[in-house]
């Protein structure tokens, strides 16, 4: 059986999603038997796009013209394009200040120093190319990445998760931090898949996996209000990783 040819790229992001893959130390030898990591600038050089790829795994959101060119090229050369992480899926933290004057933001960050390169409001990959599948998280769990790669070997894409973090909390029989501890936990409206990692340690969910597609945000906001949380504070917390929430 031939090894599958992969391209792994990072756009505007922290590189944490790619690092999660590299942190699969015990599994890497077996992965090398199944995959040819042909284009992976973070891990190997030279990094040149040549030929066709069975899949392109892309971390980060889109905020610069040269990133758009790379993304379009990866799309053209790949059978599947998979968004890795919350930034690639919905913009993530980089998109928090979208809608504000970018030149003013540049001056606030860099002062009068010249910073080369044009930028635009960060956006998810799906705004400009067809995305065939996504693995959420900031960063994704290692086991999610391994399941995704195992699926590619079998010729299938990862199944979209359609339940909230709360489901996993209940499966672990955790105390509900929102209802029983009066903590601002976003679990009811955030995509599951992390195994309720934070709530299991009594840390309220911060929403790093992004919005649950079927979330009843209006009902959730009503519950948060009943628990004494200001609507605007809740929305600002939600938008840290999912800027599209504008209600």
Gyration radius (Cα) of the chain, Å? 19
CA–CA separation, 236 and 247 (whole Å): 10
Instruction: Indicate the pLDDT class of residue 115, thresholds 50, 70 and 90.
Output: low
- Report the Cα 241 to chain-centroid distance in Å: 9
What's the pLDDT tens digit per position in 33-47?
Answer: 999 999 999 998 888
Tokens of 124: 């998810």
**8 A C-beta contact, residue 40 and residue 8:** yes
**8 A C-beta contact, residue 165 and residue 192:** yes
What's the pLDDT tens digit per position in 161-177?
Answer: 899 999 999 999 999 99
Q: Which of 218, 176, 169, 163 is nearest to 196 (CA)?
A: 169
User: Beta strand pairing status for 53-59 and 133-135?
Assistant: unpaired
Q: Is the peptide bond before 185 cis (omega within 30 degrees of 0)?
A: no
What's the pLDDT tens digit per position in 188-203?
Answer: 999 999 999 999 999 9
Q: What is the helix (H) or strand (E) element at residue 81, kind and residue range?
A: strand 78-84
pLDDT at 114: 67
Whether the pLDDT of residue 246 is over 60: the answer is no
**8 A C-beta contact, residue 238 and residue 245:** yes
| Mutual angle of helices 231-239 and 217-226, in 10-degree steps | 130
Domains and CATH numbers, the chain: 4-154 (3.40.50.700), 165-239 (no CATH)
Bridge partner residues of 191 (DSSP): 164
* Buried b or exposed e, range 211-233, using 16+ CB within 10 angstroms: bbeebebeebbeebeeeebeeee
Q: What is the DSSP string of 34-75?
A: HEEEEE-TTTSS-----S-EEEEEEESBB-SHHHHHHHHHHH
Q: Assign residue 160 a region (left: φ > 0; alpha: ψ between -120 and 50; beta: otherwise).
A: beta
């Amino acid at each position: 059986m031939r090894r599958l040819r992969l391209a792994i790229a990072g756009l505007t992001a922290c590189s944490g999603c790619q690092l999660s893959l590299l942190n699969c130390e015990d599994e890497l030898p077996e992965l090398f038997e199944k995959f040819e990591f042909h284009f992976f600038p973070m891990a190997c050089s030279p990094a040149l796009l040549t030929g066709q790829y069975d899949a392109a795994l892309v971390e980060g959101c889109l905020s610069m013209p040269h990133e758009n060119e790379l993304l379009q090229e990866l799309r053209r050369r790949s059978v599947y394009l998979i968004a890795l992480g919350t930034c690639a899926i919905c913009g993530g933290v980089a998109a928090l200040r979208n809608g504000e004057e970018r030149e003013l933001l540049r001056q606030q960050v860099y002062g009068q120093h010249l910073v080369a390169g044009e930028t635009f409001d960060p956006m998810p990959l799906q705004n400009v190319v067809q995305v065939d599948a996504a693995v959420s998280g900031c960063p994704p769990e290692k086991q999610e990445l391994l399941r995704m790669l195992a699926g590619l070997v079998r010729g299938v894409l990862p199944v979209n998760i359609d339940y909230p973090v709360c489901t996993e909390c209940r499966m672990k029989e955790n105390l509900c931090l929102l209802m029983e501890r009066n903590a601002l936990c976003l679990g009811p409206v955030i995509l599951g898949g992390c195994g309720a990692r934070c709530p299991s340690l009594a840390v309220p969910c911060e929403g790093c996996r992004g919005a649950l597609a079927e979330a009843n945000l209006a009902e959730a906001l009503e519950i948060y209000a009943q628990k004494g949380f200001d609507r605007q504070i809740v929305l600002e917390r939600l938008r840290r990783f999912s800027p599209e929430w504008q209600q």
